Amino acid sequence: MIKRSRGAADKMSKGVQFLMKKNKIDVLLGNGKLKAKGQVEVTDKDGKTAVHEAKHIILATGARSRELPNLKIDGKTVIGYREAMNLPSQPKSMIVVGSGAIGVEFAYFYATMGTKVTIVEFMPRIVPVEDEDISKELEKIYKKKGIDVMTNASVEAVEATKTGVKAKVKTATGEISLEADVVLSAVGIAANIENIGLETLGVKTDKGKVLVDKYYATNVAGVYAIGDIVPGQALAHVASREAIVCVEAIAYNEKKYNHKPAVVDYNNVPGCTYSTPEIASVGYTEKAAKEAGYEVKVGKFPIPLPVRQ
Ligand SMILES: Cc1cc2nc3c(=O)[nH]c(=O)nc-3n(C[C@H](O)[C@H](O)[C@H](O)COP(=O)(O)OP(=O)(O)OC[C@H]3O[C@@H](n4cnc5c(N)ncnc54)[C@H](O)[C@@H]3O)c2cc1C
């Protein structure tokens, strides 16, 4: 299954490469770093460097798995998203730390394959950014499926054992010890803002993200940033939209385009979680809408459980 999924991803990547060629976009493979105003230094895999010049530079270096200080990712017993998509063999047991979209997606996938999965979530409910009803329903379904769900719980320490890993978990009722073949750290992302020359040009950051205006311009003229390295939801369609707004605004400012782009409304972004059942949401949750001062009417529709459980 993993081989097939990687094959599909490769195919899509080749499709994008084809589109680059078709649209006459040069792709340089290497590590890019801001060198000076209007200059990017690219180091290729052989260590050779070359400086490229451009009037406008858009940073889009994305993100990686966030690491907790007491849960360092070693790629073997404590893994991140990248390894979870590519495990060479199926673990018999897995502790998933964090129950955001990615955590519950991997938990569902591995549990369906027969892995004994335990979710450890720091917050009082799983998928904490969704409506409370959704969290309750998903927890019920996951438990029925045999997934252990621990909320109000945190992994304090992990130690390697002969067969895998032992985790010390703090719960509301005391500390317990869990053993598993592998721990998946799914506690969010960290933006790739290091070693890309932000300091060289004085590009401002805050809380690990690059600061931008609503057209994705940084505080340094000619340098822009989009996607997971800027504040806002870390989602692929958000990154794409930000890129379009950014490029159209550049063209507008250069008087090459007469339409000022509509800015992204971050309160109106759809999100999907590919568990079973799937979760879809858009806009405010009920609680957030109330907190924002809206009068809220609630409609509820029971949805039959999918046959594929
Ligand atoms: C497991 C997982 C599941 C996800 N599922 C979904 C989903 O279902 N739906 C959804 O909308 N989003 C999903 N996301 C989020 C989505 O992948 C990101 O929001 C999106 O890819 C962000 O796009 P980006 O262009 O900012 O960064 P990326 O797509 O991460 O691209 C950044 C690129 O920059 C390269 N790079 C980094 N530093 C340098 C450098 N110095 N020089 C040159 N290149 C560099 C990286 O190698 C990478 O190729 C998921 C993420 C993960 C990890």
DSSP string, 192-235: --TTSSHHHHT--EETTEE---TT-B-SSTTEEE-GGGSSS---
Helix (H, G, I), strand (E, B) or coil at 198: helix
Please list the pLDDT of the chain residue by residue as tens digits (309 residues).
889 999 999 999 999 999 999 999 999 999 999 999 999 999 999 999 999 999 999 999 999 999 999 999 999 999 999 999 999 999 999 999 999 999 999 999 999 999 999 999 999 999 999 999 999 999 999 999 999 999 999 999 999 999 899 999 999 999 999 999 999 999 999 999 999 999 999 999 999 999 999 999 999 999 999 999 999 999 999 999 999 999 999 999 999 999 999 999 999 999 999 999 899 999 999 999 999 999 999 999 887 766 555
C-alpha gyration radius of the chain: 22
Q: What is the pLDDT of residue 129?
A: 93
- The answer to whether the beta carbons of residues 227 and 210 sit under 8 Å apart is no
Dist. CA 12 → ligand 1 center (Å): 14
Q: What is the pLDDT of residue 306?
A: 61
Helix (H, G, I), strand (E, B) or coil at 89: coil
Dist. CA 61 → ligand 1 center (Å): 8
Amino acid letter, 225: A
- The answer to whether the beta carbons of residues 135 and 126 sit under 8 Å apart is yes
Q: Which atom of ligand 1 is nearest to the CA of 196?
A: 41
- Measuring CA to CA, which residue among 228, 230, 239, 189 is closest to residue 206? 230
The protein residue whose alpha carbon is closest to atom 46 in ligand 1 is 61
Q: What is the pLDDT of residue 308?
A: 58
Residue 97: count of CB within 10 angstroms of its CB: 24
Q: To test ligand 1's pocket by mutation, which of 29, 65, 110, 192 has the most ligand atoms within 8 angstroms of CB?
A: 192
Residue 7 burial (CB < 10 Å; 0-12/13-18/19+)? exposed
Q: What is the pLDDT of residue 302?
A: 81
User: Residue 168 corresponds to which tokens in the numbers above?
Assistant: 């010390």
The protein residue whose alpha carbon is closest to atom 45 in ligand 1 is 61
The residue behind tokens 């029971």 is: 302
Element (H, E) at 141: helix 132-144
Q: Is the CB of 102 under 6 A from ligand 1?
A: yes
Q: What is the pLDDT of residue 12?
A: 96
